[in-house]
Every structure is written in C-alpha cells, then in structure tokens.
A and B are shown apart, each in its own frame.
Chain A
Amino acid sequence: MNSSAREGWSWWYLLFVVEAVAVLWPPFYNRVEPTWQGIPFFYWYQLLWVVISAGLTAIVYFAVEDTGR
C-alpha cells in the first residue's frame, strides 16, 4: 500500500551490517580457544554465525514485509 516506505531505507537493515562486521573481521575469531566438542573457536564461531545471520535475515524479513501492508 505505502510503496515509498517499502522502497526506501529501513533501520532494520543495520542488522545486516552487524552480521557483515561479525564475520568479515578475522581478529574477532582467529583463536583456537575456547574449543567446543573439540572444534576450535575459529570454526564453530563462523558456523554459529551462519545460523545467527539466517535468524537476523528472518527478523528483517518480517519487519520489512509487514510495514508495507
């Protein structure tokens, strides 16, 4: 209905920035400890972020798709 709101910027998109910084800044996660189930931090941190980022995208999806109706 309100097309200009759906076309433009949404503050929810900042979640994408959070996600990009979290995975594109290796100093955050380039460590072995703490390990989880024997998996070094470097690996499980990034795998965990796959799940977190999917969740963030879902949040943005519901937030953005709803405001336009």
Chain B
Amino acid sequence: MKNLNRYGYAFIAPFWIIFLIFNIYPVALTFYYSFTNYSGSGTAEVVGFANYQRLIADSYFVEAFFNTWKIWGVNFALQIVIALILAMIFSDARVKMKGLSFFRSIFYLPNLITVSSVALLFGILLDWQHGSLNMVLMNIGVISEPINWLNQPTTAQLSVSLILTWMWFGHSFIVVMAGVSGISTDFYEAALIDGANRWQTFTKITLPLLKPILLYIMITSLIGGLQLFDLPMLLTDGIGSPDGSLNTMVLYLYNQAFKYNNYGYAAAVAYGLFIITVIFSAIVFKSMYGNERKQARRV
C-alpha cells in the first residue's frame, strides 16, 4: 500500500508543474513588478509603494472603477429582475406555461456568441448614421433624429449595460430556474392552504429559499463584470471613448501595459483590481449571510 501512494504524486505532478510555471509564477512575477518601474525592456528598478500611491490618486483609475460599477450595476439589476420574472412565470403551478425549454434556449443563445463578435455586431448596428437600429427606430417613428448611441457617455454606458443584459439574462434565468425547481412543492402547498397570494408566495417562500442561488449569480456576475474588457475594447476606439465613459479597469490595465508600456504600474492596477474584487465579494457574501448568523445567535 505504501508504495502505491507514491503514484498520488505522479498523478498530480503534471498539473502542478504547469500550474507553477504558467499560473503561480506569473502571479508572483506580476506582484514583484507592481513594486518596480519596469517598462517592458531594460531592467526593473524597485520603487517601493510608488505605483500603489499613484493608483489611489489616479483619476483615470477611479473613473474606470466607477464606470465598471455603473455598467455592471445597471446590467445586473435588469438581468436579475428579468430572470426572476421569467422564473416566476414558468414556475407558477396555477398558470401552467408551455415551451420552457424552447424559450430557455432562445434566451440563452446570445450568451454563447463570442463577445468580440457581439461587440463588432453592435458596433455597426448602433452606428449613428448607418446603423440599422436607428433606421428601424426612425422607421417605426420612435425617434425622429438618429441617436448617436456610442458617442455620448450616458448612452454609450447604457448601451454596454443593455448588451450585457441581453447576453446574460438567459443564463441567470436558467440558474434561477434550477434553483426554483429544487424548492420542495410542500412549501407551496402549505402556502396555498394558508391562502397566500402569488406575490406573498414569491417574496416569502421563493426568494428566501433562492438566496444561495442568487448569491452564486451575484458573485460570479460581479467577478465577471469587474473584468469587463472585450465589449468596451471593441465597441469604440479601445481606450474608453466617448469621454472615457467606457474606460473599465481591465481595459485600463491592458492599455497601461501593452499600449503605454507601463508594466510596473499596470501590475499595480492588476493587484488593485484583485483587492477590489476580494473586498466586494466578501461584502456581498456578508450582507447576504451576515444577518442570518446574527439571528441564529440570538435564538
């Protein structure tokens, strides 16, 4: 038996060799660079915390931070509301809706398409003069003048949020539905006997029991949202136009490193982004589960 367990090491060795080289080493190297003024060539000089001090005072990074949040926040609110409404419709035992698998597939479809293709597609669909969207809207008479979607900060951010919603609400719907179907029908029967109406059943039974699922959606969406890159990169000029409104944190990181060769500073941006992700994931986690623990203690 003893010599057999040596195989354990052999089995996990390929994973760890590659993991050390291509994952852990780059993360550590980036950490080192974040304390240097490395510029992609020549030697790196250690500059202490200078990059991090610059990061906190950098108005472009702060702007990128808020842009990322605004774009993600609007998208998440819309996406989760749509997903919950759809789940409510399809899980209602009184109004038996048909075609769940059909609608689910159609709603999910946009999520499968390469983001860069989506960005390019909407880039030309939303074009001010020649974009099909403006032409259609003008044809049906919703607007009289073409809207310059991607050239004004507010509409540009809104466009990205809506594209993200379009891409992700189907995914959230599938996940919420999975959660709903996991809830025992006993609860609903009990609620029915007690005379609960649809809204009460939804807010008092479905929502609380969906908490773990909603938390899962929120954290995965948040982590993905904070890394928003493909859409803003390809939708406009790649540096966050119009007026810096599409400048997101990862876009800023990419441009600092590979456009302006500020590797040291970009490394600090990467770690700043990482710290922000950890903090907000922890906040989300705590706000959803913290109360519960307090209540439990009281009891």
A, B from the same assembly: no
